[in-house]
Amino acid sequence: MLSLASGVAMVKREAGMHPAMGGLVEASNRYAAWFHELDAWTQYWDIYHPETNGRYHFGNGTTEQGLLRKFLRREQRPAAFNAWVRMALALDGHAKFVEEARVPEVAAAVLEVDRLVSRLFKQHFGDASDPGVQADYINAMLCFGCDTLPPASERAEQFSSSDPRRQAAARYAMESDFVWFSCALHLEAVHAIYGVDEEHARRTLMLAGIAVGCSADFVWRGHRQSRPEYSRDCQTAYMLRNMGVEWANNFRAAREEVHALFRIREWGREA
């Protein structure tokens, strides 16, 4: 497993400051494999897991509605989604979101998705309470946000030239900036249902990763406005990595940072 600095080293490599070699290549490939599998079960289910009929995404349009429709925005805005948005914007308190997350059919969908994510996380990273795993995952999210992972050329070849997803499938990077907050909503919904349980360390780490990855994405790829103190440089990469490691053991702090990023996205300012 690489050191805490490896994520920043990958940012330097992408900027042409250092060539890719050894452990950096191995780590990049591991991180790409993680994002590949997440995508394979969700947005690219029809290519990799047709047997699910889109259950872990938004369904297949006929026989399967999809779990995400219960709590994420699609054609409609579910009550849990609206409650999260108002909570993140500090327009409502936490109680309304907890109430909506605990509605039985919503909770069932949220928890089924969480079980899948838990299984995949353990396969790719291991025990989220391990400081080494925490550093490794923060590195992965930093690289993902900065768009420094290897190209997904083989994946793109699975799509026809007429498929509008082909271009996005060619890289491991976030294409829709709102997905960062959709992922945060899901983690916060599980926390609203279970509180602190045996999976709390993983969810805290993943929420910290969203805070890091979202910030990196907004700064490096310019998807949205981020904090004014962030720049597209190694100093910001180090700062994000270090804060991510701190947030990895503090669910409340990670949640507050994600909500602040959402307010900046929506309003151009934190408050």
* All structural domains of the chain with their residue ranges: 6-14+70-150+173-267
**Residue-level pLDDT at 271:** 81
Greater pLDDT, 137 or 20: 137
pTM of the entire predicted model: 0.91
Count CA atoms closer than 13 A to 187's CA, side-chain side: 27
The first and second tokens of residue 235, run together, are 């100093």
Residue whose C-alpha is closest to residue 72's, from 169, 225, 154, 181: 181
Q: How far apart are CA 204 and CA 201, in angstroms?
A: 5
Residue type, 221: R
- For the cut 70, the answer to whether the pLDDT of residue 15 exceeds it is no
**Residue-level pLDDT at 153:** 95
In this prediction, residues 42-71 reach a mean pLDDT of 98
Residue 4 burial (CB count, 10 A)? 18
In this prediction, residues 40-52 reach a mean pLDDT of 98
Q: Which residues contact 26 (CB under 8 A, 6 or more apart)?
A: none
For 144-182, how does the pLDDT look when each residue is reduced to its tens digit (9 = 90+)?
999 999 999 999 999 999 999 999 999 999 999 999 999
